[in-house]
Structure formats: C-alpha cells, structure tokens
Amino acid sequence: MNIAVLGTGRVGSTLGARLTSRGHRVLYGSRTPTGADRLDHRGAVASSDLVVTAVPGGDVLGVLDEIGDEALGDKILLDPSATITPRAATGHTGGGVAGRVQRRFPRTRVVKALNTMNFAIMVDPLASVPAATVFVSGDDVAAKGVVTGLLGDLGWPATGIIDLGGIDTAAATEQAGALYFAIVRALGDTRFNLAVSR
Ligand SMILES: NC(=O)c1ccc[n+]([C@@H]2O[C@H](COP(=O)([O-])OP(=O)(O)OC[C@H]3O[C@@H](n4cnc5c(N)ncnc54)[C@H](OP(=O)(O)O)[C@@H]3O)[C@@H](O)[C@H]2O)c1
C-alpha cells in the first residue's frame, strides 16, 4: 500500500519504519522536505492511498487544510494524534480532533487508532503488555478494515483490536490522554498499555 506519513517525529518515523519493513511504500510529509522519501505534505499525500497524521493534535487540521480537500479526496486517514497541553494532560476540545477532521473533510475516510499508547508500544504491542488493546473509531467500515490490516502488520493480534464504532467515539479515546499521563507519572514509565479485560 502507498502510505503518506505526515510528521517525521517519534510516531511518524516509528510507524513509517515498521510499515516499510512490512512491504508498504512510505513517503514522509514534512515541513522540511529533503527530496527522496521526504516530501512536503501535499507531495507525500499526492501518490498515497492512506495518510497518517503523526503531527501534534493541535496542528492536524491546519496541516490538512493546507493539503486541501481536493488532494485528500476519499483517501483513508489514520489519525493517531493527541493534543498535549504544557502540563502533559490532553487538551481535548469539543468532539475531538478526529471528529472535527471528519466533519471538515466529509469525503475523507477518517479512522482514529493508536492514540492511547506510547509510540514504542504501537509497533511492539505484545512484548511488554500481553493483554494489549488498541481502539479503532471511524464511520467507514471498509476504511476500518484497511486500518485493522495495518494494525496486524504492526503486530497487533485481532483479539486486541476493539472497534468502538463511528468517528464520534474517537473523542472518548482522545479524552483518555489525561489518564495515560497520570499513569506515566505514577509508574515513571511509558511501557504500558490500557487494556480491556473481561
Ligand atoms: N510520542 C508518543 O508516544 C505518542 C503516543 C500517542 C500519540 N501521539 C501523538 O502522535 C502525534 C505525533 O507525536 P510524536 O511523538 O511523533 O511527536 P514529535 O516527536 O514531536 O513529532 C511530531 C512531528 O510533527 C511535525 N510537526 C511538529 N510541529 C508541527 C506543526 N506545528 N505543524 C506541522 N507539523 C509539525 C514534525 O515533523 P516535521 O519536522 O518533519 O514536519 C515533528 O517531527 C502527536 O499528535 C502526538 O500527540 C504520540
């Protein structure tokens, strides 16, 4: 699959490297394009089937606005972003980032996932957290199926993937960020995951 990863920080480079090693063609979108596989945002999106928004949550809409509705079209957009305040809680707003993106770009098929864990766990779910859970939210069932396949490529077992429903359910996982950072402070460690056991 042709994948545009917007943002070349911890999440973008970690997901990009793993997806490349699984045979996907990854182009990075960056504010500082250098050519080869690191283009500007619009250039990376142009030849991709799926877009990953690995940029700060507060900047996702701005980056997508610059790319534009025409270029995004009906591509699948995987949003792992979180909105972090200076106090390292999350600054969730209204219906959440993914919900606002979906409303702003109604043709684009937005799926929220991977936002409830540290970037290292995203590609290594079972090493330290055997009962790993990843939540998926999105209105387009086919797009969620594609993202679920990618999660499998990242190492997620099907039993650990919980489809919460439509994109509005993403706000619930975005709001779990405050809990995530409270646990980081309590444990002094980021190698854990929120898991649903029943
Ligand atoms: N780190 C984690 O463990 C983790 C876990 C769950 C969710 N998330 C979320 O995933 C997203 C990426 O996190 P990260 O840890 O990879 O962050 P990061 O290491 O700070 O990297 C973010 C990247 O986004 C781009 N960027 C930064 N400021 C930007 C701006 N104002 N406008 C457009 N692009 C900008 C930069 O790439 P370029 O310089 O190439 O443009 C930067 O390297 C965030 O929303 C974060 O909350 C992170």
Print pLDDT tens along the chain (198 aa): 999 999 999 999 999 999 999 999 999 999 999 989 999 999 999 999 999 999 999 999 999 999 999 999 999 999 999 987 655 455 545 568 999 999 999 999 999 999 999 999 999 998 767 778 999 999 999 999 999 999 999 999 999 999 999 999 999 999 999 999 999 999 999 999 999 988
CATH architecture of 2-187: 3-Layer(aba) Sandwich (3.40)
- Ligand 1 neighbour 13 (Cβ under 6 A): no
Shortest-distance Cα residue to atom 30 of ligand 1: 59
- Ligand 1 neighbour 55 (Cβ under 6 A): yes
CA of 31, closest atom in ligand 1: 41
Shortest-distance Cα residue to atom 32 of ligand 1: 59
DSSP letter (8 states) at residue 58 = G
What residue spans define the domains of the chain? Answer: 2-187
Q: Rounded distance, CA 107 to CA 39, Å?
A: 24
Cα of 59 to ligand 1 centre, how many Å? 9
CA 51, 55, 61, 63 torsion-angle sign: negative
- Ligand 1 neighbour 115 (Cβ under 6 A): yes
- Ligand 1 neighbour 59 (Cβ under 6 A): yes
